[in-house]
Amino acid sequence: MADAPIGQVSSYSGALTPTTLLPDLGSLPHDSATTHVTGTSEFIDDRPMLKGELHCGLIYSPFARARLQHLDTAPALAIPGVVCAITAADVAHNMWGDVFADQPVIAAQQVNFVGEVVAVIGAQTKEALARGLASVVVRWEKLPDIRSIDAAVANASFIGHELQIAKGDALTALKSSPHTIAGVLKIEGADHFYLESQAAVVYPREDGQLEVHSSTQHPTQTQHVVAKACGIPFSDVVCVAKRLGGGFGGKETQASPFAAYAALVAKRTGCAARIVLTKDEDMIMTGKRNPFQIHYECGFNDAGKIIALDAMLYSDGGAYADLSTAIMARAMLHCDNAYFIEHARLRGQVCRTNFHPHTAFRGFGGPKGVALIEMILEDIARVVGRDALDVRKLNCYAPDRDTTPYGQRVENNCLPDLFEALETKSNYRARRQEIQAWNLDRARNPHAHARGLSMTAVKFGISFSTRFMNQANALVNVHMDGTLQVSTGAVEMGQGVNSRIAALVAEQFGLPCAAVRIMPTSTEKNANTSPTAASSGTDMNGSAAVMACQKIKHRLAALACALRAIAPEHWPTKTAGAATQPEIAISDRAGTFTMFPDATLHDARVDGTGATTNVNSPHATRVIFKNSNVIVSEPAQPDFQIEFSQLVSEAHFNRTSLSEYGHYATPHLAFDKVKGQGRPFLYFTQGVAASEVEIDRHTGEIKVLRVDMLMDVGRPVNHALDMGQVVGGFVQGMGWVTTEHLYYNDNGLLVSHSPSTYKIPCVQDTPRIFNADFIVNNANAVNVRATKATGEPPLLLAISVWTAARDAIALARPVHAGVPTTSTPFSGATNHTHSSSVNLGSQSTAKKNLVRLSIPATAERVLRELSPELFARWDAPSTP
């Protein structure tokens, strides 16, 4: 395949059978594209300061765990310009949390992580604020802390109960397996590194109300946390989120307390209050992607087919629960990834430590489970002497092997076709031979670079794993000039959800996207919403908007049918003023017509609920919305056409509602979390990626030479935005698996809390060749417009970079630098070995060259794996 530039999209039909659905909506630009490049996009700190507005700053713990012995804010209040100091005593309801309400808004007597807030200072100027913060007197008594998963397990320091998913009899199957491998996979955290730090501005309004503008992915939760902290009803707080300068999950829950700090100052003083963290403060105080430590044992046959998997997943939840239990559940639900496992026992336990409470991150817990199984398949391939791609294809979900460990069938399964297609498109076999030759030719030169190649997959479930969160609402207002305002619970944070929803709405009415204005997300228009997360923003909110549109369209279509039989001079716009004609009766019930968003006829139309409507009746009246016109078409009758804006005016003068509310609840979900069985996901987004890397033997640096990606994203609403999500998500995932390393000091303080010490990918880190394609798949009839989500799944394909690095190391280092050939029996919580082991039964006693490489695969870790015996001698304590 010829090298393609980043963002190139090609079509591939493979073995899939397309169905005829709606035409493509094209690749319209992001709704903020112009304002971004002209510098006029408004973020929180771009809002003009009001007269008397206060700046807020925080006093927080410098220790992982400590007792607050003394806190004196009086010296700060003596500073000119310092207006107020807020402590735990001023908080009406001082506990918050998404799953468990276990975290103080402001700590009172004890702190449990570096960055936990004990006081908020409000000042008229930034200079006064800095002096005031420096004047606060705090004395701490440092207490013993827990800062590792091993220590948490040893002390039974847990959050929530142990979760389990089971299928078959894994323990018995392991005992009878011809081969087994066992070990521990360590996966460390990562920072979200959004460009706009946590920020909020709160405006006091009359009668004790508060208007909160927050950089939050979850306006409803922010509204509730603010209201509870201030001791006022939810109805007295309006939370608005116009746009975010990035979120990636880091603002799903953790934006709420920062908004509460500003709100407490605003309520106390009656002045507007603003809080904007610096990048250093943000990184120190906020939680990260949860670190994981996974103990596993896997049994397989001579061909490399998995027989059984037993895995115990531990995660570091930090000091408080936040979303860690839900993240653990998602990790367990993705331990199978793209592969059928007959016998599985998957257990998960969240550990309580003294780090900042970890939280949602793009992919949630999914990347941890996927990394586990992809690593295991690579090791199986090395044990049985086969190419890892062949082992993956052997284990891939197929028609007769399509049930997950939690009991959901893998419907609309494109995985076998994706593997076959990318194998050809990426020229995998020839490149594999070239890489092996490259490494062999340079074996005599220990200073040459090493290369590796790996193809991994993703099968990412789309829906919140908590059922009640799978709902959304939308308000659609049609104005008399034919333009629309749409309000939903979706938050725009750069991913283009506004543009996608605008396209869906415009298509419904046959209008240009310019006619649709997506309004800032606000809790007074869309209440009780779920966060914009889980890759479901367009799915749920777009579906709700389409449902609202269809209600309005029904009334407009009925009116158009009625106007056809009425002389224009008797239409409502001509007669309503004088009331010379009776109003046209419009029923809210289904009429004897079928509506179309445009003039193209189709076999089926997918609506917001996933249902289809038959439109093939030869005698049906058809109302078509196309090119800003509404056309009534009936057999043996001339078409009747009216401009959309004219029809809207007639509806208004006929007292027909032009506003509608739509509520969408994701169908078909039924997952029992206690039993670990059911259907947690509406559908799966699928994809494969082949990554080729080169490792510098001197420095351990990984260079990504080439990436080929092929994804099933259903029928994209916006090709360009979906491609941006695919490419951007992959690069962000590259950072997680290679360079983004969190360093903490002995007090639990994050040391790498700035761009100078925390290495995210830059343009020089992107693959030298980057081919990204979509397949054609119109068969996802359960989702609005047959589309599939692209927010999170591409990030998990970056695991191929990590497995390619493992491949390069295995091919480059001496064959004797392996691991023992006998395994220690897996025993869940009591097995804390950090090494991999293999049991080859009676067929082999030779050592196998298995690679132990944690995530992220930093340069030092790569060097250690290239020469494990050498580093073992260096690390050994010297003898006197």
Catalytic positions: 792
> In the numeric block, which tokens belong to residue 839?
């049991």
Can you tell me the distance from the alpha carbon of 794 to that of 796, in angstroms, rounded to the nearest whole number? 5
Query: Which class for 845: exposed (0-12), middle (13-18), buried (19 or more C-beta within 10 A)?
Result: exposed
Q: Which residues of 277-304 are buried (b: 16+ CB within 10 A; e: fewer)?
A: bebebbbbbbbbbbbbbbbbbbbbeeeb
Rg (CA), the chain: 29
Is residue 132 classed exposed, middle or buried when 0-12, 13-18 and 19+ CB atoms within 10 A define those classes?
buried
Cα(361)–Cα(357) distance, integer angstroms:
13
Going by C-alpha positions, the residue among 741, 688, 724, 718 that lies closest to residue 862 is: 741
Distance between CA atoms of residues 631 and 771, nearest Å:
43
Closest-CA residue to 167 (of 338, 308, 344): 344
Query: Which residue, among 482, 500, 505, 480, has the nearest Cα to 629 in the 3D structure?
Result: 482
Q: Rounded CA gap, 521 and 225, in Å? A: 17
Q: What angle do CA 864, 866, 867 make, to 5 degrees?
A: 70
Residues ≥6 apart with Cβ < 8 Å to 833: 183, 184, 824
Cβ atoms of 315 and 372 closer than 8 Å: no
Longest CA–CA span in the chain (Å) reads: 110
Cis status, amide bond into 18, omega within 30 of 0: no
Other Cβ atoms within 10 Å of 628 Cβ, number: 14
Residue 718 and residue 498 in contact, taking contact as beta carbons nearer than 8 Å: no
* Distances 268 to 210, 261, 273, 277 between C-alpha atoms, Å: 12, 11, 10, 21
Please check whether residue 475 is in contact with residue 659, taking contact to mean a CB–CB distance below 8 angstroms: yes
Q: Is the peptide bond before 399 cis (omega within 30 degrees of 0)?
A: no
**Whether 183 contacts 260, CB under 8 Å:** no
Q: What are phi and psi of 681, to 5 degrees?
A: -125, 145
CA separation for the pair 438, 767 (Å, rounded): 19
Tokens representing residue 553 in the block: 């369209």
Comparing CA positions, the residue from 488, 472, 478, 483 lying closest to residue 525 is: 488
Residue 213: in which H helix or E strand, if any?
A: strand 210-214
The CA distance from 457 to 499, in Å, is 29
For tokens 């394909």, the residue is 797
Q: What amino acid occupies position 870?
A: L
CA–CA separation, 492 vs 825, rounded Å?
A: 49
User: What whole-number distance in Å separates Cα of residue 299 and Cα of residue 305?
Assistant: 9
Question: Which amino acid is located at 693 in the chain?
Answer: V
Closest CA to 147 of 867, 637, 744: 744
Q: Could you tell me the CA-to-CA distances from 696 to 437, 699, 701, 799, 858 in Å, in that order?
A: 17, 6, 5, 19, 12
Kindly report the number of other CB atoms within 10 A of residue 698's CB atom.
Answer: 11
First to last CA, the chain: 61
Query: Nearest CA to 371 among 274, 251, 457?
Result: 457
C-alpha to C-alpha distance for 677 and 680, rounded to whole angstroms:
8
